[in-house]
Amino acid sequence: MNEAPHLTFDLDSPGVSTGHLVVPKGADCDSLSLPVFSCNRGEGPALLITGGNHGNELQGPVLARRLVEWLPEAQRCGRIIIVPEINPLAVQAWTRNTPIDGKNLNRVFPGRSDGSVSERIADAISRLLLPMVDTVLDLHSFGPTWDCAPSIISHPIADIDQMTKTVSISKAFKLPVTLLWEHNETDGMFDTCVHRQGKTFICTEFGGGVVSAEALTLYEAGVRNGLIALGLVAGKAEYPTFRQQKSGQTLETTASDQLKSPSPGIFEPRCSVMDEVKQGDVVGVLHPMGSLSAASIDIRAQSKSIVFAIRSAMYVQSDEEVAILARPLAH
Ligand SMILES: [Zn+2]
């Protein structure tokens, strides 16, 4: 019989403790030991912070390690569990999906104990860590081929109270954007699994393949604001500076706000994130490279919008997303 997923230490130990979450071996690979940092200060909110869900979004794991350095001292109550990389196989390969089974960890929750390695990771987290907390903060950064506004993203939640609470906590991070993202493929996402347990899920997105010191500073300031709002850390929350501004806005995006490539070619961005565009403005240009005659194709905004995320120059296939526009939340 297979070994069960387990922790090598007791999360209920008071104060700081460390150990591993052991994901059992399966037919496809050996067992994994994910480093886990825990700080238990008794009564209060209980938060799980995860990074490295997608292996090519390294801002999250870096920030998680930075939090490990100062958070235990700053934490005044409750419980915080930090797992800097929940998918070390993908992080080591710098891939979105797990290289061994080709699966997107963020589409296989709550996982399976007898499944492939991504499913076993999800199962171990769902079974051993989620029951210990009431809120999850999953640190993403949109992947290396995009630039996106520093943001908290949430998908619409059917439960109104849960939605209201999620948006309220999300705004408290005081990041430039709180985005409500209508998404039709939420099955198997970490957030869906957390919501089914009646818990709150917060997802940060920080754009791009470049892990810059500036972006990390902003990221950390936002997370600190969130920790203050949750009551875990003392202090006064302030808007971090982004593009010379200290402010935040709540936006929404739907499938029709996503601009796609009309043909294969190199996408050239003509806007930056947070730019305001009106109907007909050129957001980017597609250069078909294989022809002497084909002209470049303008990709235009369909309506007055704000550029939430845009592809960096890269070769794209036909119908591939190149920009995600958004609008102020209507209600
Ligand atoms: Zn991600």
- Of residues 2 and 131, more confidence is placed in 131
What the block records as the tokens of 284 is 């980017």
Cα of 57 from ligand 1 centre, angstroms: 6
Cα of 289 from ligand 1 centre, angstroms: 30
Banded model confidence at residue 278, pLDDT cuts 50, 70, 90: very high
Tell me how far apart the alpha carbons of residues 87 and 96 are, in angstroms, rounded to a whole number: 10
Global pTM value: 0.95
Cα of 259 from ligand 1 centre, angstroms: 19
Cα of 93 from ligand 1 centre, angstroms: 15
The per-residue pLDDT for range 295-319, each reduced to its tens digit, is 999 999 999 999 999 998 789 999 9
Of 88-97, 256-265, 287-296, the poorest mean pLDDT is in 287-296
Cα of 53 from ligand 1 centre, angstroms: 6
The overall average pLDDT reported for the chain is 94
Query: Average pLDDT for residues 107-115, to the nearest whole number?
Result: 97
- Which pLDDT score, from 0 to 100, does residue 292 have? 85
The per-residue pLDDT for range 154-199, each reduced to its tens digit, is 988 889 999 999 999 999 999 999 999 987 777 899 999 999 999 9
Alpha carbon of 78 to those of 39, 41, 217, 224, 327: distances in Å?
A: 8, 5, 25, 15, 37
Cα of 13 from ligand 1 centre, angstroms: 31
What's the full length of the chain, in residues?
331
Cα of 203 from ligand 1 centre, angstroms: 9
Cα of 58 from ligand 1 centre, angstroms: 10
- Which pLDDT score, from 0 to 100, does residue 331 have? 66
Cα of 172 from ligand 1 centre, angstroms: 21
Query: Average pLDDT for residues 124-142, to the nearest whole number?
Result: 97
Q: Over 90: is that where the pLDDT of 291 sits?
A: no
Residue 21 has φ and ψ, to the nearest 5°, of: -95, 115
Cα of 294 from ligand 1 centre, angstroms: 35
Percent of the chain at pLDDT exceeding 70: 99
Cα of 165 from ligand 1 centre, angstroms: 22
Tokens 């071996």, residue located: 25
CA end-to-end span of the chain? 53
Segments of the chain assigned E as strands: 6-7, 15-23, 32-41, 46-51, 78-83, 135-140, 146-148, 151-154, 177-181, 200-205, 249-253, 258-260, 265-269, 276-277, 282-287, 297-300, 305-311, 314-316, 321-328
With 0-12 / 13-18 / 19 or more C-beta atoms within 10 angstroms meaning exposed / middle / buried, residue 330 is exposed
Cα of 52 from ligand 1 centre, angstroms: 8
Tell me how far apart the alpha carbons of residues 173 and 282 are, in angstroms, rounded to a whole number: 32
Tell me how far apart the alpha carbons of residues 256 and 231 are, in angstroms, rounded to a whole number: 38
Q: Over 60: is that where the pLDDT of 1 sits?
A: no
- Which pLDDT score, from 0 to 100, does residue 35 have? 98
- Which pLDDT score, from 0 to 100, does residue 2 have? 65
Q: Over 60: is that where the pLDDT of 215 sits?
A: yes
Cα of 205 from ligand 1 centre, angstroms: 7
Residue 255 has φ and ψ, to the nearest 5°, of: -55, -35
Query: Average pLDDT for residues 270-287, to the nearest whole number?
Result: 96
Nearest 5°: the CA angle 242, 211, 269 is 65
Cα of 2 from ligand 1 centre, angstroms: 30
Cα of 11 from ligand 1 centre, angstroms: 27
Cα of 104 from ligand 1 centre, angstroms: 9
- Which pLDDT score, from 0 to 100, does residue 294 have? 84
